[in-house]
Amino acid sequence: MAQAIVCGGPEDVPECARIDDDAGFLFGEAGMDVDLPTIHPFSVAERERWRRSAALGRLFFARDDRGAPVGFVVFDVLDGAAYVDQLSVQKSAMRRGIGRALLHHAIEWAAPVGNGDLWLTTYGHLPWNRPFYESEGFVVVPEPECIAGVRAHLAEERSALPDPDQRVGMRRLRDPAMAMPRSASATARASLSRDDT
């Protein structure tokens, strides 16, 4: 499936909510109830953030071959750093590379923001959350070392979402090799040098 990634506007936030709600079936399969009412303060605040980000050109949709929106990513800037507020793909379009394409778009978007690092929050114990981001160079950051905006998001999420202790902050450095242990980083750089010759 080919994907076109296009910018959305504040009027598209209901479509984001539809996609995000549809993607929530995965949590249900894991025994987690994340189906908050639309009038819940967490839901209201979340949609308002998405509208604000959309007005600033920070909302992007992935569209399928027919032009239908099947996934989205919305960005924010926290303490001068890029932050993925939400990334969701609807059930019928999962496991087709759409989430990864959106994440790659996020990484490119983050490059000129601040020092180029990209932050997000997610569940650390679910197989489709933390491991997916780790495969793209993100690492879990101990909460005291997270930027203030990420710590605030974690606190808000833990007040409303199930399994609050499993929420973690993650960061992808602009140069992911910088996050490796020194020996692994040296090996990776040596490999890159060999490939360049």
CATH code, 63: 3.40.630.30
Q: pLDDT averaged over the chain?
A: 87
Nearest in space to 123 (alpha carbons), one of 165, 76, 75: 165
Over residues 105-141, the pLDDT tens digits come to: 999 999 999 999 999 999 999 988 999 999 999 999 9
Domain count, the chain: 1
Whole-prediction pTM: 0.85
Domain coverage including residue 144: 4-196
Query: Per-residue confidence at 40, pLDDT binned at 50, 70, 90?
Result: very high
User: Taking residues 44-52, what's their average pLDDT?
Assistant: 97
Residue 118 β-bridge partners: 82, 172
Give tens-digit pLDDT for 153-181: 999 999 999 999 999 999 999 876 655 44
- Report the 3 state secondary structure along 100-140: HHHHHHHHHHHCCCCCCCEEEEEECCCCCCHHHHHCCCCEE
pLDDT of the residue at 178: 56
